[in-house]
Each structure stands twice: as structure tokens, then as C-alpha cells.
Structure 1
Amino acid sequence: MSRGRFASYVADNQAAGRLVVQPRMGFATTEQMRGGLHAVRAARATTAGTLTLDSFTRVGDHANAARALVHGHDLNGYPLVAHGAVMTRAMLEDIVADDFPVQVRHGSALPLGIFHALLDAGLDATEGGPVSYCLPYSRVPLRSAIDEWAACCELLATVGDDGRGAHLESFAGCMLGQLTPPSLLVALAILEGLFFRRHGVRSMSLSFAQQTNPGQDLDALLALRQLATEFLPDCDTHLVVYTFMGLFPRTPAGAAAILAESVRLAVAGGAARLIVKTSAEAFRIPTVAENVAALEFAAVHAAGCARPTRPSFAPTDSPAYAEARLLVEAVLDLHPEPGTALATAFGTGLLDVPFCLHPENANLARSRVDPDGTLRWTRTGRMPLRPATGHAPDLGSAELIDMLAHNQRRFDAVTTEPTAPALSPAR
């Protein structure tokens, strides 16, 4: 098996019992971006770097991205295509190495130009997916996104000789995850993984975003791990956890506590990577120093967590496993080609993301957060699932806002920041 740089680094550290921690960081100029990556590499943690792209690049508006650079206007990320391969290679020189790979994060429903640019710049890892970067972030027709992502996967598959030379992370375990019951996130991650595999990619990661109940989160992560072994046995696969992506705690103690809980989830669930958030998330875009502090904090807590050799998991006792497997099998029964199956599933409502306003999402399903943080279905639309309760009335705006703030309230009630043993430098 010939892994690329990114996948090799993650696999080697997972085998050694080290959690790879990663920020979401992107700056407009090559000088700013180089400085940010240098700081992440120097952090006292086992880190991977990130190039998060700007909004113009995400929607293919490279002319406006280039114009902003010429006029010195700030951007909310790195304009990879506008900078071009030569400038990006120079920016990455003496930073990217076997012990510090970099992943491109972009948010684009139609990213073929981005994929060409990242490969031309010498990078071998990115993320997204035909559903997870279409439904939440765009009005692009799902079939168009599926076709473009098929071309993107086939381009990545040309790196190396067995589809493992470049790495692709499915974002499906994060899409609208605050109010999407975990079984649907798990099912979508597996379905995007099958799509990647069908189009030649054999090195992939499957994501899951921390939600509102730690026990339910762990069950979902272990279900994702199990289903990956069943449906993607010939792929080089690892799991990645995201620190909570909804309304973030506003207090320093609350922000530290939710980050520490996501670390425990990642370690207990056998994840190889964690995408962190910082103490500034509730207020503004974090600085480089705040990102480094979050990375080092996460590394300290990961080092102090008991690490199971193989998390115990009984599929018959797992609500997430049962529902996710049912959804995956129902979609695969629609068509042998995963892209066509996904398009048909959303077209018929067999897959339905609650509160997602994309025109091709049925938006009949609904969910709620119980007082203990359990996220459950109240209405499942045309999906082959049974809601936990009978018909429930639609949520009012006040109740919806209250549920979205569940984690913010829960963690802002924490008064003391968690502590852990001192960290030794990883490099």
C-alpha cells in the first residue's frame, strides 16, 4: 500500500498512540499564510497544517480573489487558485514535510479548479464531498455537484498507482450536525466514502462532529468505525472528530471544557485526528496564537486520556449503527452507482437533512435536543426510520434557538478550566 504524505503521517502517529490535532486557518497573503503554518508546525503538539480557502475561491470567483490581492483587501482565507502553484509552492517551502503535512479545506460544491491547483502546488490532501459541500453551502444542483466531485476523485486517483497517493476527507459527518441525529451523519459519511471509492480514491477519512450528548456521540463514532470496516474494507481509512461546530461557549472555562470533551471523544472512539476550535469562536475569527493555544491544549488532554487498544462495540446495542446501516443499505438498493443512488435518495426523500434549505432536500424530517442533550428524531419524513416519539409539533423560533444554545449554556456553567499533565514537545 503506497500512502501519500498526509495519510502516512496520520497513520504513523495513530499507530504510535498520538492524536493529530489540526486548526481551521486561512489567510489572504502568502506571508500571513506562511507565518500561520510555521506557528502551527512549531506548536507543542502533533499537528497537521491547514490551508482554508476564501469565499471567492469557494464559489469559483477567482477574478475577484485576484482583484482583492492586487488592491490589498483582506480575504477570509487563502486564495489558492489566484495565487497559483508557483507562489504556493514557494510559500510552503521548508514548511511542508513528511513530519508536517498540509490539508486544503475549501467548502466548494464545484471544486475541480481547486483540486487541480492543490495538486499543482504539491499538496495531496483535501476534504468535502458531493453532498456535504453542496446541500449546506450552495444552491448548486446536486447532480452537478456529484458529476464534478466524480471528476475530482478521478483526478486524485491519478496520484500514485493505487488510488492511495492522495487523501480525501468526507465532511458528511459535520453537515448541519447541530440538529441532525447522528445516524444520518454516519450514513452520509459512509455513502460519500463509497462514492470516493467508486471513483478511484482509496485513501480517505470519515468525519463526525461533536454534538450535544457525549454518550450518543461516542456510540455514533464507534458505529462509523464499524461501518467503515464493513463497507470500505479495501480502503485506507481513518476517523476525524470536529470540536462542536454550533454556538460556542462564551467563557474561557466553557470553551476549554467543550474542547476537552471533544478530545476525550476522539481518543475513546479511536479517531486519528481532531479539528479544534478556540476560545475566541463565540466572538470572532481566532488569531494564530489562539489557534496554537487550542492545539496545545488539545494535545495535553489527549496525552492524559486512557487510550483503548480497540474500542469495544456491540452493533446490536447501538442505535446509531442500526439506523445508519438501514439508511446506507436503502440508498445502495436504489442504484449500483453511489452518485446516482445519492441523487435519487434526496430526490425521493429517502435521505432528508432536517432544517436544510437546499431545494433538492425534502426538508420533511425534524429533530430535537432533549434536556439531557440527546438528539433524536421527531419526524422522519419519507426516510425508512421510526421517530422516537409520535408526531410532534413543529418547533417555534424561540424553542429552536434554545436548542441551538444547549451546549453554550451547558459549558458556560463550568467555572473551572480542565487541567491535564504538562506536555512535552512532539518535535
Structure 2
Amino acid sequence: MNEAGAVVAPGPFAAAVAAARARGALVVQPRMGFGDPATMRAGLDAVARAPATTVATLTLDSYTRLGDHEAAERALAEGAPLNGYPIVAHPPDVTRRVLDGARRHGVPVQVRHGSALPEDIFAALLRTGVDATEGGPVSYCLPYSRVPLREAVRSWARCCARFARMRDAGVEPHLESFGGCLLGQLCPPSLLVAVTVLEGMFFRQHGLRSLSLSYAQQTCAEQDEEALAALHRLTGELLPGLDTHVVLYTYMGVYPRTRPGALRLLGAAARLAVRGGAARLIVKTPAEAHRIPTVEENVAALVHAARVAAAEPPARPSVADTGIYAEARTLVEAVLELDPDVGLALCRAFERGVLDIPYCLHPDNAGQARGYLTDRGRLVWARPGRMPVRVDRRGGGGEMTSERLLTALSHVAARYDEEAASAVGRDGVRELAG
């Protein structure tokens, strides 16, 4: 109920995901954004009409993400291309007409942005009635900005409290943590799981009750399944009584350069989403390694992922336990011991190195932790810095040299391109479907 005592219904976004889960369908979602309102509306319309269970995305441009709204306005005035939709620069009535491209089909829209200081963006969401967005004080600060973490935490706290007030109008807003992605690669899964759960707890502390927790596909399917199981378990333990679901991101690092390799990787992500019990999959296209995808390429990738997911058996009841849950729980508890306020605890955790993102160059990150790929392709800790995690030397090697780093960064792309080439060689010249 809201403060007036009226029943608060789930927002359109959360309701659509819940309905799909009840049917046993995986929701597939693009990361699409265009500066031109007509193109953006056409893209939302195409996603909504795709033969798949979709939610649509309004991805914002870099100027808006950085708060440089004057630059976005100049680009619009000069007809210069933008790499996303400048929601603050466009008048609210223009954005409402854009959103109608999906809403008239009953498909909700989530705004994705990447901003460490997103108050203008949240204000624009409220003006246009968008009930779903994503990010977080850590996940959109340390990897993507030089904004001090304490400033990002304060800004996100204000945004959450303001967003929660949609409830007064009878709509429960939905916020997704980007914490399960961080830099997108070469981060052992326990830290990804811990950060997204901590951001979820931060959101709850500031009034939000409908959340999604994220995880990005990494380098080893078995390890990823275990990480998703750990994320489900910790969500149930630490965020009880909320409307929650898990969202999986297709691999966020260097992408395969060939179309068959990219389709194989996307298919692997769709199967992982089903096996790992994710409700939603963020889809990438075969164009990712080369340029910004077109509307048609986004829709084709959604349809491909949905078909692969529909053919995959249901989630597995159990997976092997190599300690990801225990390590993630230890990290969460170590942070929460630093302060009863989750935002302050996160700041102190990074100040003291209790949390430390490998290869992250932000000034507030200790930069002492390192991960590496084992001979079996699993991501483990080479150096934990001051984090309460263990180092497992059984996988071969340890310290990440520059040569090993470059090899690790291209490991997934090379593997899937090579596997696709081998499959084509065996089966004749045909396009692989994953």
C-alpha cells in the first residue's frame, strides 16, 4: 500500500517479467539506443513486435550519462549522431511519444544509462512515467567514472528515495543493480555476486521494493551456474520479502568477431540463463565487435536467444559447490560489519580494500586485487589484496603478466570463433545457430 492506504500494483516492467516467469518463458532484452526520436520509437516498436518474450530498452547517450546535457542539446540542434537517447535533452512529450512505440503493444520499457550521478536522469524518468531503470552507486561509479564514490552514493540514495515515491501514484518502480557486471570481465564471480547483493540492500534501505540482481556471463559455464545459484541463495537470505529476480548479461568483454562465433556465444548465454534460473537475459548481437547494431540486428539477436532458450531443459536443481556462495557471503558480511548504513559501509569497504575490483583504475579502488584464468578456464584470485578471499593455486600459474592479460581478455572471443570455424568445417558451409 502507499501512504494513502491504496493498494500498490507492480509496475509494468516487474509485472511483465513476473508474467513471463509464470509461463516459464525467458525474457530477452536488447541494449538499444538512438538519438533520433523517430528511430528510437521504431526500434521500441520492432522489439515489442518481435516473436519472443521481450521487454524494451531506452539506452541513453554518453553526454547524458556524464551529465553534459548542453552537449547533447547541441548535437540534437546540429543533427549530429548520438550513441543513445538523450532523455534529459528531449522534452517529456517527445519521450512519451517514443515510449508509445512499445507501450501500445503492452511491452514495458527500461531506461539504461551508465551514470554515477543520475539525478537529472531520474527526474526525466518521473516526468515521463518510466517505472524501470538500472545501475548502482558502485557499479556505475567505479568502472565508468572518476566521480568520488561517496558522491555517487549520496546521489544514488537521493535518486532511490525519489524513485520510490512513484508508489504514491500507485506504481511500484523497479531498479536493477548492475553490480554483477562491474568491468564485465576477469573478475572472479564471488565479487560480482557480493556487489550486486549489496547494491540491492542499498536500494532496499532507500525505499525500493522491486529489484533485480545481475550477473554477467564469464569464461566457464559450470562456474557461472554455480555463481547464479549463489546469487539466488543470497537474494533469498538477505533480501527477503521483496519482489526480486535475476538478470543475466551476455558476455560483456571482447566479443567474437565472426557471426557464427557470436551466435554460439549468445546461444551459450541463453542456455545458461535457463539453467541458472535467470528471469531475464540482456542480449548482444553479432555486430558488437564492429559497430553499434541496427534495429534489425537487435531484433534478430532477440529471436535467436529466445529460440535457444525455449529448447533448453529447465533449471538444474543443484550444481557443484566450489565455494562461490561462501566467499560471496563472507564479502557481504565483511562490508556490512563496517557500518549499519549500506552506503557508508560500501565507501569504507573500498577505502580499506575489503572490496577491490580487479583492473579497475578508479582512484577510490585499492587496485591490489587480481584475477586470472586457470587452465580450465575458470576465473580465480591471483592476488586478493586485503579482501577476505582465498587464493587457489591449483589451476596453474598465478600472477597476471601483460601478455597473459591480453590473452585472457581475448580468451572468450577466440574460443567461440575457433569453435564455430571447427563446426562449419565439420558440417559444411552453413550458418550456426548456437
Q: TM-score, normalised by structure 1?
A: 0.94
Distance 1:127 1:27, change over 3 A: same
Q: Does 1:263 align with 2:270?
A: yes
Q: Which residue of 2 aligns with 1:290?
A: 297
Measured against aligned partners, the alpha-carbon deviations of 1:51-78 in whole angstroms (never above 9, x if no partner) come to 0000110011111101110110011100
Establish whether residue 17 from structure 1 lines up as the match of residue 21 from structure 2: no
How many equivalent pairs are there? Answer: 417
Give the letter aligned to residue 268 of structure 1: R
Partner of 2:369: 365
Cα shift at 1:401: 0.6
Identical-residue share of aligned pairs (%): 57
Matches within 5 A, 1:348-427: 348-389=352-393, 394-413=399-418, 414-415=420-421, 416=423, 418-419=432-433
Q: Superposed, which structure 2 residues align to 1:129-208 within 5 Å?
A: 129-161=136-168, 165-208=172-215
- Listed one character per residue, the Cα deviations across residues 219-241 of structure 1 (whole Å, up to 9, x for unaligned) are 00111011000000021000000
Q: Which amino acid aligns with 1:159?
A: M
Shift of residue 35, structure 1, vs aligned partner:
1.0
TM-superposed CA distance for 1:156, in Å, is 1.2
Q: 1:97 to 1:158 in 2, by over 3 A?
A: farther
Contact 1:86 1:121 in 2 (8 A): yes
Is 1:247 the counterpart of 2:254 in the alignment? Answer: yes
How far apart are the structure 2 equivalents of 1:166 and 1:337? 22
Partners in 1 of 2:291 and 2:155 — Cα distance? 33
Go from structure 1 to structure 2 and tell me whether the alpha carbon gap of 1:73 and 1:54 turns closer, same or farther (over 3 Å shift). Answer: same
**How far is 1:86 from its partner?**
1.4
Cα distance between partner residues in 1 of 2:166 and 2:236: 24
User: Given the superposition, is the C-alpha separation of residues 97 and 319 from structure 1 closer, same or farther in structure 2, using an over 3 Å criterion?
Assistant: farther
Match of 2:100 in 1: 93
Task: Give the residue type in structure 2 aligned to 1:330.
Answer: A
- Is 1:130–1:142's contact at 8 Å kept on the other side of the alignment? yes
The Cα shift of 1:44 comes to 1.0
8 Å contact kept, 2:256–2:262:
yes
- 1:48-105 Cα offsets, whole Å, 9 max, x none, are 1100000110011111101110110011100000002111012222531573000000
Q: In 2, are the aligned partners of 1:5 and 1:98 still within 8 Å (CA)? A: no
Contact 2:28 2:282 in 1 (8 A): yes
- Indicate yes or no: 2:339 matched with 1:332: no
Q: Distance in 1 between matches of 2:359 and 2:170?
A: 36
1:222 matches 2:229: yes
Give me the whole-angstrom Cα distance separating, in 2, the residues matched to 1:122 and 1:162.
10
Does the CA contact (< 8 Å) of 1:169 and 1:205 recur in 2? yes
SS at match of 1:205: strand
Between stretches 124-133 and 251-260, larger displacement belongs to 251-260
Determine helix, strand or coil for the equivalent of 1:204: strand
Distance 1:162 1:404 in 2: 46
Per-residue CA deviation, residues 135-194 of structure 1 (Å, 9 max, x unaligned), is 000010000000000001101111125997100000000111311100000000100000
Q: Please report how far the alpha carbon of residue 281 of structure 1 lies from its aligned counterpart in structure 2 after TM superposition.
A: 1.0
Whether contact under 8 Å (2:44, 2:101) holds in the other structure is: no
Aligned equivalents of 1:4, 1:78: Cα separation in 2: 22
Alpha carbons 2:34, 2:83 under 8 Å: kept: yes
For residues 392 and 17 of structure 1, what CA distance do their matches in structure 2 show? 42
CA apart distance, 1:318: 4.3
Pair 1:179–1:77, CA change in 2 (3 A): same
Please give the alpha-carbon distance, in whole angstroms, between the structure 1 residues aligned to 2:47 and 2:69: 27
Q: Does 1:120 align with 2:127?
A: yes
Instruction: Report how far residue 319 of structure 1 moved.
Output: 1.6
CA contact (8 A) 1:205 1:237 kept: yes
Unaligned runs of 5+ in 1: 421-427
Residue equivalent to 1:323? 327
Cα distance in 2 between the residues matched to 1:398 and 1:167: 42
Structure 2 gaps of 5+ residues are 1-7, 424-430
Aligned-partner Cα distance in 2 for 1:100–1:235: 23
Q: State the shift of 1:394 in Å.
A: 4.1
Partner SS, residue 238 of structure 1? strand
1:305 aligns with 2:309: no
Cross-structure match for 1:65: 72
Structure-1 separation of matches of 2:392 and 2:381: 6
Q: Distance in 2 between matches of 1:201 and 1:364?
A: 33
Match of 2:428 in 1: none
Deviation at 1:376, TM superposition (A): 0.5
Shift of 1:285: 1.0
Moved segments of 4+, more than 6 Å: 390-393
Asked if the contact 2:36/2:85 (under 8 Å) is kept, the reply is: yes
Q: Distance in 2 between matches of 1:418 and 1:202?
A: 41
TM-score (norm 2): 0.93
